[in-house]
Structure 1
């Protein structure tokens, strides 16, 4: 099955981060951005794709034009050929034994250039070869590290760690639990089993936008902001969903470079017009809805074909008569120096969804059509 729907449409200031340096630049758009949109279906053959969690455990091999979707219930990897839009391979993994990757607690995957896969769980990272044989399991919390030392209360946030080669990882560290706090950034060298810490409270502001739900009996859950550490063009970049800015970790200078941006379509920061703490289910749902109305910034997407970085973000535009939210969805372009080039508003019926990735100069994002896998593709042009 293959269906196409086509719609042609038209920072650097010093700030204190512990004892480290930081600088900032402010940017606004100067060029015009237009785009075309289409939707393509993936032919499943006789297979039923695992869409239960919205392809949340997936990754893309851009060089080979392959999309990896992990079925955590069947422990299988669905590998989709994005050029031919069909299922290329179904790869089986083991839960236990010498090649086991755990009993279904995988929270993230990463495909490496050699086609091996990293499986992240709550205790560590499993590195598995293309043939299913396990290369290594790194139990992050149990390892003895050289270099900088964590305190007794500090841990590495495993889910935050990003890598391109499977050797050097970059992420966040801090305390855990309902009152968790990010204490800074960490570089993990798995080959040498060493840590490098960058103590900083530069992300402390984001806790102002958390929602805490007291469930009673000493149980609490928290809805936090998304603060992501990503390797972009071989630079360590920190992105927040709360503000129109990002930070680059200058590894040589051991400093932060803070880039702030201005949008002509939306607010540049969340306002926090929602309860920070609730005690009932109805209150929690209402608080989450109010929070969803405020601006939310996505991650950066590398377009290697055009050497452009893209980002989506959204904010409520208006409410319908039925109290449904209509969003302003915005696409922004940055150059490889992280300077904002252009931005454009997307159509009202456009919905931003994850995962989003770049291939052949287009931005692809997952779309569920009757529990079948489709991708919405945006082809942007900067003039």
Structure 2
């Protein structure tokens, strides 16, 4: 562990005073929320962490004790002990050859027994050991899987994840401006069979996938959909709506959970005559209609409280016309059955936390402190 001067508990100790009216019958458990935030730094030992791409392609171990930081330029995974806050091992991976993870920036999910599910969009899907060896290929063409009933071409690489026993593979149809719907793909990798399930509440994510095509410029903007497994269920969430699908894959049942949030709308709204553009001004006007509405983040599970948390945010345009520098931030909490328990506007936050997870009852999120890898550790009291 690094010396305490380098560990740096930066006294960000913020206190959110909450609403002064202490109404016990409000039904909002976050009404009088208070919290503190400490910032801790990771000791990189003799390595230099390249944070130029953030940590979006990194992963957390299933027991939340280890953070696996993926360096895209070096194609290595740094193993970081979150209890000791130090780098403990370096694992090289290959972009080509029999153990290739692919050339596109990968999505990494932790599996049991020190293994990873690594997805390189459009190129490759496989299970790898942390020593960079490919254990199993999950690279499938749409036509290769019997029973999907979709017309897509190419490889199945969109939002791929696995069931807890690794017997089922889940993915989505591609989110592109040429699509009209979103479907969940449920695949048995061993028999190469599967099916697709329509997700109507996620269709707005396709409608808000905007594409500008010009002879010298191609630009796009869109929404996220996340697939996360927990408690032997698959949770499907999106930035475009608070609606959440819960797929019980043991029972093969899908339910839609809708929320009556009071602080934010339930979802983004609006339609465009087309989401394919050749005119730059029309594209930017449409993108502004998309950006200035509320967006939602993934569900975050707190194993101590047995509750789900979720952030939402609304971008604020600054004096220079930029949307990405600050936002209004909201926090929601739900019970283990996704019943809404509370919601809170967080004026102390100028932007939504990144790469969030609960560890020992506290919420951790990635921060870059002068190009050093750090985490903000939030202690909520309510």
Pick the TM interval, shorter chain. Answer: 0.7 to 0.9
Distance 2:294 2:182 in 1: 25
Report if aligned partners of 2:101, 2:119 keep a CA contact under 8 Å in 1: no
Q: Which has the higher contact order (CA 8 A, sep 6+)?
A: 1
* 8 Å Cα contact 2:101-2:124 kept in structure 1: no
Counting only pairs closer than 5 Å after superposition, residues 11-22 of structure 1 correspond to structure 2 as: none
Does 2:204 match 1:205?
yes
How has the CA–CA distance of structure 1 residues 334 and 207 changed in structure 2, closer, same or farther, with 3 Å as cutoff?
A: same
How many Å apart are 1:67 and its aligned residue?
0.5
Query: For the Cα contact (< 8 Å) 1:247–1:257, is it kept in 2?
Result: yes
**Residue matched to 1:158:** 157
For 1:1-383, what aligned pairs fall within 5 Å after superposition?
1-4=6-9, 5-10=11-16, 30-32=28-30, 33-63=33-63, 65-102=65-102, 104-121=103-120, 122-141=122-141, 144-146=144-146, 148-153=147-152, 157-163=156-162, 164-173=164-173, 178-216=177-215, 221-251=219-249, 254-272=252-270, 276=275, 278-279=277-278, 284=283, 287-289=286-288, 291-316=290-315, 326-382=326-382
Q: 1:196 to 1:323 in 2, by over 3 A?
A: closer
Q: Scaled by the length of structure 1, what TM-score is found?
A: 0.82
Task: Give the root-mean-square deviation of aligned CA atoms.
Answer: 3.0
Superposed CA deviations along residues 169-202 of structure 1, whole A, max 9, x for unmatched, are 222236x764034452111222333213224544
Which deviates further from its counterpart, 346-355 or 239-248? 346-355
Distance 1:51 1:274 in 2: 37
Contact 1:155 / 1:173 at 8 angstroms: preserved in 2? no
CA–CA distance in 2 between the matches of 1:273 and 1:183?
16
SS in 2 for 1:139: coil
- The match for 2:19 is none
Structure 1 residue 272, shift from structure 2 partner: 3.9
Question: Kindly tell me: are residues 44 and 291 of structure 1, through their superposed partners in 2, closer, same or farther at Cα, counting changes over 3 Å?
Answer: same
Q: How many residues are treated as equivalent by the alignment?
A: 360
For the 8 Å contact 1:156–1:173, the answer to whether it is kept is: no
Structure 1 pair 87–251 and aligned structure 2 pair: CA distance change class (3 A) = closer
Return the offset for 1:330: 1.0
- Segments of 4+ in structure 1 off by > 6 A? none
Alignment partners' CA distance in 2, 1:323 and 1:292: 12
CA offsets 1:5-42 (integer angstroms, 9 cap, x no match): 242423xxxxxxxxxxxxxxxxx963234322221111
Residue deviations 1:305-344, cap 9 Å, x none?
A: 221111111124x655555665220111111101111122
Q: CA deviation at 1:154?
A: 5.4
Alpha-carbon displacement from aligned partner over 1:273-299 (angstroms, at most 9, x marks no partner): 999554455765565455332100001
Please say if residues 328 and 351 of structure 2, whose CA atoms lie closer than 8 Å, have aligned partners that are also in contact.
no
**Could you say if the C-alpha distance between residues 44 and 282 of structure 1 is closer, same or farther in structure 2, counting changes exceeding 3 Å?**
farther
Distance in structure 2 (CA, Å) of the matches to 1:139 and 1:324: 40
Deviation at 1:243, TM superposition (A): 1.9
CA contact (8 A) 2:225 2:239 kept: yes
Q: Normalization by structure 2: what TM-score?
A: 0.83
Cα distance, 1:167–1:70 mapped onto 2, change above 3 Å:
farther
When residues 282 and 40 of structure 1 are mapped into structure 2, their CA distance, relative to the original with a 3 A threshold, is farther
Q: Is the 8 A contact 1:244 1:262 kept in 2?
A: no
Quote how far apart the aligned CAs of 1:362 are. 1.6
Q: SS of the counterpart of 2:108?
A: strand
Q: Is the 8 A contact 1:108 1:159 kept in 2?
A: no
Note the residue ranges of structure 1 that are not aligned, 5 or more in a row: 11-27
Give the strand-richer structure, 1 or 2.
1
